[in-house]
């Protein structure tokens, strides 16, 4: 009997450890990335996809799933080109939940590439993530 129990535990050890080591998300949020002002061929959807991937990774680090419903917070990222023919991007990150809003994060990225823009937005999301986690769990 003891050997059967030991064999069972050894056989299922990887599954048991996986459940304990990687708990699922505790909360949910919706990620919205808006890039309609980017008119360069394919730039808007490409940047939106990369920013959404980065946001999902940052949220996973805080144990927040990015498939929120109507009652969950909305993390909105807006990216647009700089005004008056300048080269670069501006981004705004806003978090809203039931009429409450965290302070916005605004960045101006002059002469930067799409990759640099995505990296800057990701850094802002990392700084914002703990406050978002607190808001989500209220």
Span 77-128, pLDDT tens digits: 999 998 888 888 999 999 988 888 888 889 998 988 889 999 999 999 999 8
**pLDDT reported for residue 19:** 46
Its pTM stands at 0.76
Bridge-based pairing state of the strands 74-81 and 30-34:
parallel
- Asked if residues 132 and 29 have their Cβ atoms less than 8 Å apart, the reply is yes
Helices (H) and strands (E) in the chain, counts: 3, 7
- Asked if residues 31 and 75 have their Cβ atoms less than 8 Å apart, the reply is yes
C-alpha–C-alpha distance, residues 136 and 58, integer Å: 14
Model confidence at 39, pLDDT cuts 50, 70, 90, reads: confident
**pLDDT reported for residue 44:** 87
How distant, in Å, are the alpha carbons of 2, 41, 46, 51 from that of 123? Answer: 53, 26, 19, 11
C-beta neighbour count of 35 within 10 angstroms: 21
Model confidence at 15, pLDDT cuts 50, 70, 90, reads: low
Whether residue 134 has pLDDT greater than 90: no
Q: Is 92 exposed, middle or buried (0-12, 13-18, 19+ CB in 10 A)?
A: middle
């Amino acid at each position: 009997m003891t050997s059967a129990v030991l064999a069972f535990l050894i056989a299922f050890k990887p599954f048991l450890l996986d459940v304990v080591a990687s708990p699922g998300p505790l909360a949910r949020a919706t990620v919205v990335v808006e890039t309609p002002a980017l008119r360069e061929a394919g730039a808007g959807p490409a940047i939106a996809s990369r920013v959404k991937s980065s946001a999902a990774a940052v949220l996973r680090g805080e144990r927040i799933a990015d498939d929120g419903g109507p009652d969950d917070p909305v993390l909105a990222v807006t990216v647009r080109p700089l005004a008056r023919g300048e080269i670069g991007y501006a981004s705004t990150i806003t978090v809203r939940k039931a009429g409450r809003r965290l302070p916005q994060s605004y960045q101006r990225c002059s002469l930067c590439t799409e990759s640099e823009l995505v990296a800057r937005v990701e850094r802002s999301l990392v700084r914002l993530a703990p406050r978002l986690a607190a808001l989500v769990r209220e």
